Amino acid sequence: MGGLRQEGARGVLIAVVSTIVVAAAIAFVVTRSPNWPQVKEAFFNGEEFRSSFPDIAVKFVRNVEFFMVAEVFILTFALLLAVMRSLPGPVFFPIRALSIVYTDSFRGIPTILVVYLLGFGVPSLSLTGVPRSATFWAVVALILSYSAYVAEVYRAGIESVHPSQAAAARSLGLSRWKTLRFVVIPQAVRRVVPPLLNDFVGLQKDTALVGLVVSVPEAFKEAQIIQSADFNFTPLLAAALLFLLVTIPMTRLVDWLVARQRRRRQVATAL
Amino acid sequence: MRKLLAGIAIVGLLAACAEENPVVSTASPSPGATAADCAKGVTTYVSPGTLTVGTDNPAYPPYFQGGAAKESEWKLNDPATGKGFESAVAYAVSGSMGFSPDNVQWVVAPFNQTYAPGAKSWDFAIEQISYSTKRASAVDFSESYFDVNQALVAVKGTPITSATSLADLQGYTLAAPTGTTSYEYIVGVIKPTKEPGAFSTLSDTVAAINAHQVDGIVVDLPTALYIADPFVQEVKNSVVVGQFPTVGTPEHFGMTFVKGNPLVGCVNQALAELKSDGTLQAITTKWLSEKTNVGSVPVFSTS
């Protein structure tokens, strides 16, 4: 966005013209395809869209619940993992190793598999005192998977804090714990807010995976139900639109935060 | 009901071992064979000289039986055995249309692709697809080859098994696989106060009732009779509590065709012949009635 402004009016004009040309070319090719009338009927059916959108929107509330609840746990658990990994000294090796094994495994397994394994596996155990709901375990799966990613983001932040900061804090008499709590983590977290939000956007989309194992439909599953009832794919588009309504503002917010951070850093170096 | 359990496979195999000859040979008894004349004139076959039939993989009993060879691309059952209800119907129809069993080719047609726009690798698909006017705007349906009712399967001794009317089912958690008319029946007709479960496949639905996550599951009657069969017991310790009354137009299965395929007319003619000479009834009795050990199933009252 900032780039456009710098290029000036001529740049904007070129961008607009080239966008129109590309869009027109795509539209031309797509609508000239031999099956376009059928595709239009099956994927872009206005009536189907209008009739299915309200139902799917109601179920989308569940997706919002899923990612709000999951995000709180992810931010906490991932920070714990990152701190575990940054503990110095040979004594803490087992804790570091545990954190490394955890992040390696859960980053390495496709999220959809974790959702399936937990969503079907744990309720089948029929353990007393353990929730039987597949929804519960599917959300837990998202938390486990995303915590591994987010822990790495935190770790990058922690490692970006210059060692002299910690050394200064220690020399002022702060304990190891207080140094971490009041000096390192606040600086680290501030620096990684944009990538954290980036993972949050990813999480919002992946709540659709919960629908694969749960019995009570969320937006994606509701769309599938209507799709197979009516033999029409338009409900999937309605679901896609709902996800966009949430993820696009979030993405713009991330962009804005990154730009603001860059400006501030530039100001800081100028001083 | 279109997606069935993996576990059923073994039992389906065992049950089918008793069978010898495919029903195929009895097809096309009428020498007039107008369906055959009709089929000859059609030029839209995906592979000329062959009738290519699509069904989903795995192919589940009781609609497909007879097992599958290890190296076969088919899981559970190879539809080309002629065993199982839909396989038998397909061979009877193709026989009426003048195709010898050797000239019938089976290909995999995943359910969701049967109604996606575009060219298909099969002439028609036969996989327990229920007719509805909305669906008929996306594909062409043949006439009915089976009029289907929905039924309720539950675990013996649980409170839901004493239900005799739709009203009795209000307070229970019911479930069905998504994409099925069974689920639509729960939501549209039974309208229980508890939100029903919608599972991706029948095996997930069965797993849910086996794990006591739901009180009862709604599936089509032949499937219900199969999974609750005393010798199958896909749902542990289960009974078919009852079958549901038809509301509105009766539900039926039809073969599906790409919109505008002229072959629909020939298949309908073949089905009409098979209905008038009793072949279709015989196939239905053989594969869907004689095979079950459940006994008569009461019908839920609507009041």
Interface contact flag, A231 B137, Cβ < 8 Å? yes
In 3D, which of A80, A62, A99 has the Cα closest to residue A222? A62
**Residues B271, B95 contacting (CB under 8 angstroms):** no
How far apart are the CA of A221 and the nearest CA of chain B, in angstroms? 8
Q: Is A235 on the interface with B (CB under 8 A)?
A: no
Rounded to the nearest angstrom, the gap between the alpha carbon of residue B167 and the centroid of all alpha carbons in its chain is 28
Q: Choosing among B137, B195, B215, which should be mutated to test the A contact, i.e. which has the most A CBs within 10 A?
A: B137
Rounded to the nearest angstrom, the gap between the alpha carbon of residue B112 and the centroid of all alpha carbons in its chain is 15
Q: What is the pTM of this model?
A: 0.76
Chain A residue at shortest CA distance from B185: A229
The kind and range of the H/E element at B257 are strand B256-257
What distance in Å separates the CA atoms of residue A91 and residue A100, rounded to the nearest whole number?
A: 16
What distance in Å separates the CA atoms of residue A80 and residue B52, rounded to the nearest whole number?
A: 59
Q: Choosing among B140, B186, B203, B213, which should be mutated to test the A contact, i.e. which has the most A CBs within 10 A?
A: B213
**Residues B13, B60 contacting (CB under 8 angstroms):** no
- pLDDT, position B30: 42
* Nearest-by-Cβ selection for B138 from A212, A221, A231: A231
| Chain B residues lying within 8 Å of A221, measured CB to CB | 178, 198, 200
What distance in Å separates the CA atoms of residue A56 and residue A244, rounded to the nearest whole number?
A: 14
- pLDDT, position B8: 47
Q: Is A62 on the interface with B (CB under 8 A)?
A: no
The two tokens of residue A132 are 């039987």
- pLDDT, position B14: 43
Interface contact flag, A42 B116, Cβ < 8 Å? yes
Ranges of chain B whose pLDDT falls below 50: 3-33
How far apart are the CA of A124 and the nearest CA of chain B, in angstroms? 6
Instruction: Work out how many CB contacts closer than 8 A connect A with B.
Output: 78
- pLDDT, position A211: 84
- pLDDT, position A93: 93
Whether residue B58 has a cis bond before it, omega within 30° of 0: yes
How far apart are the CA of A211 and the nearest CA of chain B, in angstroms? 9
The two tokens of residue B246 are 């038809």
| Chain B residues lying within 8 Å of A232, measured CB to CB | 115, 134, 138
What is the phi-psi region of residue B273: left when phi exceeds 0, alpha when psi lies from -120 to 50, beta otherwise?
A: alpha
**Residues A168, A153 contacting (CB under 8 angstroms):** no
What distance in Å separates the CA atoms of residue B57 and residue B3, rounded to the nearest whole number?
A: 9
- pLDDT, position B37: 79
What distance in Å separates the CA atoms of residue B177 and residue A229, rounded to the nearest whole number?
A: 12
Alpha helices in chain B (DSSP H): 8-17, 34-41, 85-96, 111-114, 181-185, 202-210, 221-227, 263-276, 279-284
Chain B residue at shortest CA distance from A38: B117
Interface contact flag, A120 B207, Cβ < 8 Å? yes
Q: Choosing among B115, B201, B214, which should be mutated to test the A contact, i.e. which has the most A CBs within 10 A?
A: B115
List the beta bridge partners of residue B267. none
List the beta bridge partners of residue B216. B154, B174
* Nearest-by-Cβ selection for B197 from A126, A132, A215: A215
| Chain B residues lying within 8 Å of A38, measured CB to CB | 117-118, 259
The kind and range of the H/E element at B125 are strand B124-125
Ranges of chain A whose pLDDT falls below 50: none
- pLDDT, position B302: 82
| Chain B residues lying within 8 Å of A217, measured CB to CB | 178, 198
- pLDDT, position B303: 67
- pLDDT, position A78: 96
**Residues written for chain A:** 271
What distance in Å separates the CA atoms of residue B125 and residue B53, rounded to the nearest whole number?
A: 6
| Chain A residues lying within 8 Å of B183, measured CB to CB | 225
Dihedral angle, C-alpha B224, B230, B231, B233, nearest 10 °: 60
The residue to which tokens 């989308």 are assigned: A60
| Chain A residues lying within 8 Å of B214, measured CB to CB | 215
Interface contact flag, A225 B198, Cβ < 8 Å? yes
Q: Choosing among A115, A215, A224, A227, which should be mutated to test the B contact, i.e. which has the most B CBs within 10 A?
A: A215
What distance in Å separates the CA atoms of residue A71 and residue A78, rounded to the nearest whole number?
A: 10
- pLDDT, position A135: 87
Contacts of B300 (CB under 8 A, 6+ apart): B152, B163, B164, B165, B166, B168, B169, B242, B243, B244, B245
How far apart are the CA of B118 and the nearest CA of chain A, in angstroms? 6
- pLDDT, position B3: 47
Calculate the average pLDDT of chain A.
Answer: 88
How far apart are the CA of B215 and the nearest CA of chain A, in angstroms? 13
The kind and range of the H/E element at A42 are helix A36-43
**Residues A186, A114 contacting (CB under 8 angstroms):** no
Whole-complex ipTM: 0.72
